[in-house]
Structure 1
Amino acid sequence: MDELLAQLRAAAEPTRLRLLALCARGAFCVSDLCTVLGQSQPRLSRHLKLLVEAGLLERVPEGANAYFQLPPGPGAELVRLLLARLPEDDALLAADRRAAVRLAAERARAASEAFRRDGADWDEIRALGLPAEAIEQAFLKLLPPAIPRFLDIGTGTGRLLELVADRARQAVGVDASRDMLALARARLAERGLAGHCTVRQADMYRLPLPDGSFDVVALQMVLHYAEDPAAALAEAARVLRPEGLLIVTDLAAHDRAELLTAQAHRWPGFDDAELAGWCGAAGCAALPSITLEGPLAVRLWPARRLPGLVAAAPAALTF
């Protein structure tokens, strides 16, 4: 009862309700919230600190910034119950929503322009002329109809999160690139998916996530960039629950040496034996792979996390 009363007291203030209403729609940093609400940073920082301490928001560090979003579990459920009591046509909340949409669009344009200016090729599947639709359909066929928690490692622009949004109760994407994350946040917000699809900055070798916390973990077109694919798979397996599903989508072994220089690939694709060996060392049992032909063959390697085995991976970090 004491915890619930503390949470209700924390929410019982106009600015804090506005903050909860915004953060229920996606992740925002303090400067974004200052822009939307038109209030000073010290004032909003105090409100955010109270909401985090009450368990109604979580603070996710990202470089020099920190993003605020709904936490997993009971705190988010209480926030949604409270927000459901607010009038949908409230003029102040509607103005906040419009300002947040404008801000997200500006952030997306800025990130996209940076990618175009620097020549970064962030949609690799299409850049290589690979059958994007066929890859996505093959991936969806491997998924269960309902997924409590889904993790996309190397999420890029968040396309995979968008793809699974109607099946996953909670979908999380991690990426090392802040520019990629800016695009992903804008994409998810634009499609109205930011309430249950979130992204955060993370190193795929040291995921800031608890052991066994996801039901499905995906690595799509990521492993050929990895210095140590075995370690990346071991870390992916660590955060996968027993009997959970791991799906690796990547290039099959090829002889296109120019990709190692022009595209900075570390590996010229993979074969079934390599993936089966790395998955086995990570405590997963490989399932039959799926091959999609194209300019370069793409293969999907599914695997199941074995019960009672622990992958050799670094200890989990916490925020």
Structure 2
Amino acid sequence: MSDAPTLLGMSESHTPLFSAEQLARASKAAGDSLRLSILKLLGQGSFGVLELCHVFGIKQSGMSHHLKVLAQAGLVTTRREGNSIFYRRPLAAGNDALNLWLKALFAAIDSTDALDNEAYRQALTEVLKERAQTCADFFARNADAFRQQQDLIASWDQYGETLESILSGWKGASGYALEVGPGEGAFLPALAQRFEQVVALDISPQMLEQARTTVAGKGLSNVRCELGDTQWLLAQQGEPVDFAVANMVLHHVPAPKTIFNDVAKLLRQGGTLLVTDLCRHEQSWARESCGDLWLGFDPDDLSDWAREAGLSEGQSQFLGLRNGFQIQFRLFHSA
């Protein structure tokens, strides 16, 4: 084997790992100030065309043109959620030259002052509030039928034992646990037995009342139910969390990536986040019947969000259900 140095972007056989034309097209696409801002926003999650039009205050035809340029350059990808198409940045998970360049490009874009003004922030807040309201309205109408709705996809009897076995095998501190979106509170007894304090956090008053009923019925004196989201909890500046759980809740969250970012800040050093959620699926009826905003997630999505939040990946398990759904159980740790 030759000891001659290898040129950047070239293999030892002098074959480009990606073409100069591809690089030039991607660089040109990202070089427009509006498209750069779009790419920064897409770093926060997936957005539909009309949502992007609202944030940036431009017509749909103009936004569609910019998205087409970015898509042709390989800087955005699309994903169908029911009848809607959402745009997102591609996962740059590999270590080949193209993915390394994409990582560097997105990191540079994320460090710019694009979107750093009140108009953008207000418009983005309105978009996320509309998503949250859609979900809140569903649970306000269906809180009393939550179990029947949930059982259409995955009942606690189908996966609860696996979830509890993961908790029993955890060897960390047993001080403070947090469950984001506890539903009816099926997992709260196991958490209450393992931890000195448990906070059940939910944005739906109706669902939180269901959790309170479980807490009272089981006599869980060390569980506190709080109305709010992870941003609200961060503002409380309470003690660090040893163990956080997001159990079958991410597919209801307006911007799932924010859960990873917020929980990473809430966790103490050595703390753990346990995420249980659906793998990516195409059963769009779940949006109408179960109030799902997202049709599950690719495992790489969760890995990528955790990595960007500064969490390291731990154990993973997958459970296939007879109705075609698959559940992923993922552990992420704070360094």
TM-score, reference length from structure 1:
0.55
CA distance in 2, matches of 1:269, 1:138: 23
Task: Tell me if 1:144 matches 2:161.
Answer: no
Correspondence for 2:275 among 248, 251, 257:
248
Structure 2 vs 1, CA of residues 274 and 150 (structure 1 numbering), >3 Å: closer, same or farther? same
Q: Residues 94-133 of structure 1 correspond to what in structure 2 (within 5 A)?
A: 118-120=141-143, 121-123=145-147, 125-130=150-155, 131-133=158-160
Q: Secondary structure at the match of 1:288?
A: strand
- Seen in structure 2, the aligned counterparts of structure 1 residues 262 and 187 have a Cα distance that, compared at 3 Å, is closer
| Structure 1 gap segments, 5+ residues each | 1-114, 307-319
1:175 aligns with 2:202: yes
Measure, in 2, the Cα distance between the counterparts of 1:303 and 1:182: 29
Task: Give the CA RMSD over aligned residues.
Answer: 2.5
Which residue in 2 is equivalent to 1:237?
264
CA deviation string 1:36-73 (max 9, x = no partner): xxxxxxxxxxxxxxxxxxxxxxxxxxxxxxxxxxxxxx
Distance in 1, Cα, partners of 2:333 & 2:247: 17
- 1:279-310 per-position Cα deviation (integer Å, ceiling 9, x unaligned): 0111100113110110211111100012xxxx
Q: Which of 283, 287, 301 is the matching residue for 2:310?
A: 283
Given the alignment, which residue of 284, 290, 296 partners 1:257? Answer: 284
Change (3 A) 1:116 1:214: closer
SS in 2 for 1:254: coil
Give the gaps of 5 or more residues in structure 2: 1-137
Aligned residues: 191
1:196 to 210, 222, 239: 222
From 206, 215, 219, the equivalent of 2:232 is 206
Max Rg structure: 2
Q: What letter corresponds to residue 215 of structure 1 in structure 2?
A: D
SS at match of 1:216: strand
Judging changes above 3 Å, is the alpha-carbon distance between structure 1 residues 289 and 170 closer, same or farther for their aligned structure 2 residues?
Answer: same
Q: How does 1:1-319 map to 2 (within 5 A)?
A: 118-120=141-143, 121-123=145-147, 125-130=150-155, 131-144=158-171, 147-193=174-220, 195-207=221-233, 208-210=235-237, 213-294=240-321, 295=323, 296-306=325-335
Partner SS state of residue 200, structure 1: strand
The SS at the match of 1:159 is: coil
Counterpart amino acid of residue 303 in structure 1: F
| Superimposed CA distance per residue, residues 158-182 of structure 1 (whole angstroms, 9 cap, x where no aligned partner) | 2222122111111111001112222
Cα distance in 2 for residues equivalent to 1:255 and 1:138 = 29
Shift of 1:137: 3.3
8 Å Cα contact 2:139-2:207 kept in structure 1: no
1:113-161 deviation line (CA, Å, top 9, x unaligned) = xx99944442354342441333433443453376110000112222222
Whole-Å Cα distance in 2 between the matches of residues 286 and 221 of structure 1? 19
TM-score (normalizing by structure 2): 0.52
**Fraction of identical pairs, as percent:** 26
Match of residue 311 from structure 1: none
Secondary structure, in 3 states, of the residue corresponding to 1:134?
helix
Shift of residue 241, structure 1, vs aligned partner: 0.6
Task: Write the letter of the residue equivalent to 2:226.
Answer: R
